[in-house]
Structure 1
Amino acid sequence: METGMETLGEVRRELLNITATRYLSGEMQIMLYDHLLTFADEVEYIWKAKWSLPKAFFLVLRYVVPTAMIIHTYQMSGLGNVNLSDAQTLNSSSSCRGWLTTGLYLGVAAISIGNFIVLLRLWVIWERNARLLIFTLTIFIITQISTLAVATYMVVHWISDMLFLSQIHMCGLTHKPPMVWLWAPGLVFEVMVFSLALWNALSRPITVSPAGDSLYRDGLGYFVVIALRVLNLILSVAAHISLMFLGIFFIWAATTVTVSRLVFHFRRLSTVCLVQRMQDEEDPSPQLSRQETRATVDKYLRVLNSVDETVVQTSEEEYELCEGAPAGTSITISEVTISGSSTNLTRKERDA
């Protein structure tokens, strides 16, 4: 009797774990909803841009991931009345092993593309520093090759453990593979990117770079992705086999959403700066950089404050920045009035 109760308890735990995994796969709906919200930005900033490798990578990430997640949700989550075979072949559309293998490689490719796009943005905020570029590119190549090698090793050695559970209409594994080695390389890369972005943010004023500001706004999302990577790493080591895939769909969707919004923010800021640069070219008035404007104001204040008879008054005026601050924000500079005569030092700032 006690053995029977233990068996029922084990079955109940397995079903609860599977249910939790299915609930977290609902992140696909959030990703699709975000896709609809940002579709106008995609048309404006991606489709209208000239073709390039980053654009092609972005569109692959943008559309292949949702398509793959929809197929996997239908085929293997139990939502559809689909029965897959346990055949050893990998190229059969009705093989559970084939679907899991395809999904594994698609996941590796999608996350690699997302990491590369983020790496391109990291190079921008570091002003394409040659040493940093070589270092980060080397780490990227090493981690991605390591991830691909681990994925291939898992497919070769653990394919026989993949089977279709007809009772719950879901694919599963009979033994727990060493997933920790699959997640570890990507986690190393993302921690490196996050650390370098944080270092860049702390080493300069927040308003210096709109590219940096875009990373600040999306930093929380990227931090959440890293936290999910850590969760997967912990689950792959400590959790039961039925919880091993708990965060995979969630990470897949969260990575796509975070990278997409990061790209849109950068493209939007680049467009704003381009418009302002064109306006500057049409305006023949003298242009002062931010540093020149500040230095000029300080110079006047130092000179005027040394003369007792001179009355110095300052007023505040807001003006928009392109390279110096995020779009839509402003800073204030001083207008100095000397004995009733006004010397306006305010200038529209040139895009550096």
Structure 2
Amino acid sequence: MATSLQELEELLGLLTDARTTNELAVAALTAVILEHIINFPDEVNLIWKSRFSISNVAYIWIRYFTLLAICIDVSFMLRAEGSDHLCQSFLFGEMVVSTIIVISADLILIFRVWILYERSRNMLYLMVPLVTAEIIAMITVGVYTIKPLKQYVHVGPLLAGCYSFEVPRLFTFYAVPPFVTAVLMFLMTAFKCGTTLMTHGPGKTPIIAVFMRDGVFWFLALLLVSIVEIVLWDRARPTLAQIPVVPSTAFIAIIGARVVLNIKHVASNTLKGAATTMGTELEVRRPLAGEVNTWSTH
């Protein structure tokens, strides 16, 4: 009787955890869609109407691949699945896709730092092994976390998604490699931007100021995401393991895309300002009738 009550409590807890997980996944998808809608005018002007560049490709990739991936992810999470094999395949796919999105965002972060350091070849010698190690570590942790999960709970339409009562605590380390990369990139950004801003001032280096601001925001966001993931995967019930996966992936992708737009927006304004100044310096026109010609060359 005691065993039956304990199993019933575990099942009720699982149903509650599954509902919370699915609600947060839908909320994350909604946030991604709203971000698309809000920033679409800037996207058209700064991405689609501009020349081909690596930053444009990075933006389009992380923006639309994330939207597609989360749509597929949420659609699977919201339906009841009765096959253990399909559940394990889904979790493997979810892990791989999340890794791809996180690495894509990190590549944007790393590319920013590489530009800050004037595209130094020595920086590539540091960054390429760093990204490679991050990919290997995340995939290894993900595989050895999901591989032992052979049995999942199936209770018909009451339970949507795939859940197991035994998720290895090894999954805690999945959040460590991206955080290490974020810390290193933040320190390098803070050093380079800090010295430049102290020398020239933020007013004369608007792009560097944006690099610094976005770098700080990115680091704080990754710090929050990493803390939530580590605490949940190390201390919470195994049935809560999927809670941060979709929201954190969406959050990281949104930040990555927004960082690209911010840089392109400031660069566009800077170029427009320079063009306006040049045009003012070179403009010569006749005064209109009755108008006093007060124009002078600067």
Identity %: 17
- 1:280: Cα distance to partner? 4.8
Q: Of 206, 225, 229, which aligns to 2:226?
A: 229
- 1:249: Cα distance to partner? 1.3
Partner residue in 1 for 2:119: 128
Q: Is residue 165–residue 239 contact of structure 2 (8 Å, CA) maintained in 1?
A: no
> Structure 2, unaligned stretches of length 5 or more?
283-296
Partner residue in 2 for 1:213: 209
Greater relative contact order (CA < 8 Å, ≥ 6 in sequence): 2
Select the structure that is richer in strand. Answer: 1
- Structure 1 pair 158/134, CA: closer, same or farther in 2 (3 Å)? same
Partner residue in 2 for 1:70: 71
Q: Of 187, 197, 202, which aligns to 2:179?
A: 187
Q: Is residue 172–residue 230 contact of structure 2 (8 Å, CA) maintained in 1?
A: yes
Question: 3-state DSSP class of the match of 1:171?
Answer: coil
Q: What's the C-alpha RMSD, in Å, of the aligned pairs?
A: 2.8
- 1:171: Cα distance to partner? 0.9
- 1:62: Cα distance to partner? 0.5
Range that drifts further, 54-63 or 193-202: 193-202
Query: In the alignment, residue 68 of structure 2 is paired with which amino acid?
Result: T
Question: 3-state DSSP class of the match of 2:163?
Answer: strand
Select the structure that is richer in helix. Answer: 2
1:82-114: per-residue Cα shift (whole Å, max 9, x none)?
A: 3434253xxxxxx33332222221111111111
Q: TM-score, normalised by structure 2?
A: 0.80
The question of 1:19 aligning with 2:16 is answered no
- Structure 1 pair 71/165, CA: closer, same or farther in 2 (3 Å)? farther
The question of 1:158 aligning with 2:159 is answered no
Of structures 1 and 2, the larger Rg is shown by 1
Q: Is residue 82–residue 154 contact of structure 2 (8 Å, CA) maintained in 1?
A: yes
Q: TM-score, normalised by structure 1?
A: 0.69
- Structure 1 pair 284/52, CA: closer, same or farther in 2 (3 Å)? closer
The question of 1:256 aligning with 2:253 is answered yes
1:278-306: per-residue Cα shift (whole Å, max 9, x none)?
A: 34555658xxxxxxxxxxxxxxxxxxxxx
- 1:133: Cα distance to partner? 4.3
Query: In the alignment, residue 236 of structure 1 is paired with which amino acid?
Result: W
- 1:230: Cα distance to partner? 2.4
Task: Return the alpha-carbon distance in structure 2 between the equivalents of residues 143 and 110 of structure 1.
Answer: 13
- Structure 1 pair 17/97, CA: closer, same or farther in 2 (3 Å)? same
Q: Is residue 55–residue 260 contact of structure 2 (8 Å, CA) maintained in 1?
A: no
Partner residue in 1 for 2:161: 170
Query: In the alignment, residue 187 of structure 2 is paired with which amino acid?
Result: S
Query: In the alignment, residue 190 of structure 1 is paired with which amino acid?
Result: A
Q: Is residue 165–residue 171 contact of structure 1 (8 Å, CA) maintained in 2?
A: no
The question of 1:35 aligning with 2:36 is answered yes
Query: In the alignment, residue 68 of structure 1 is paired with which amino acid?
Result: A
1:151-195: per-residue Cα shift (whole Å, max 9, x none)?
A: 34445x335345655331221134213212322212211121222
Q: Is residue 124–residue 211 contact of structure 1 (8 Å, CA) maintained in 2?
A: no
Q: What does residue range 250-329 of structure 1 map to in structure 2 within 5 Å?
A: 250-282=247-279
Partner residue in 2 for 1:242: 239
> Structure 1, unaligned stretches of length 5 or more?
89-94, 286-346
- Structure 1 pair 215/23, CA: closer, same or farther in 2 (3 Å)? farther
Task: Return the alpha-carbon distance in structure 1 between the equivalents of residues 256 and 32 of structure 2.
Answer: 12
- Structure 1 pair 212/284, CA: closer, same or farther in 2 (3 Å)? closer
Q: Is residue 62–residue 256 contact of structure 1 (8 Å, CA) maintained in 2?
A: yes
Number of aligned residue pairs: give it.
276
Task: Return the alpha-carbon distance in structure 2 between the equivalents of residues 257 and 172 of structure 1.
Answer: 27
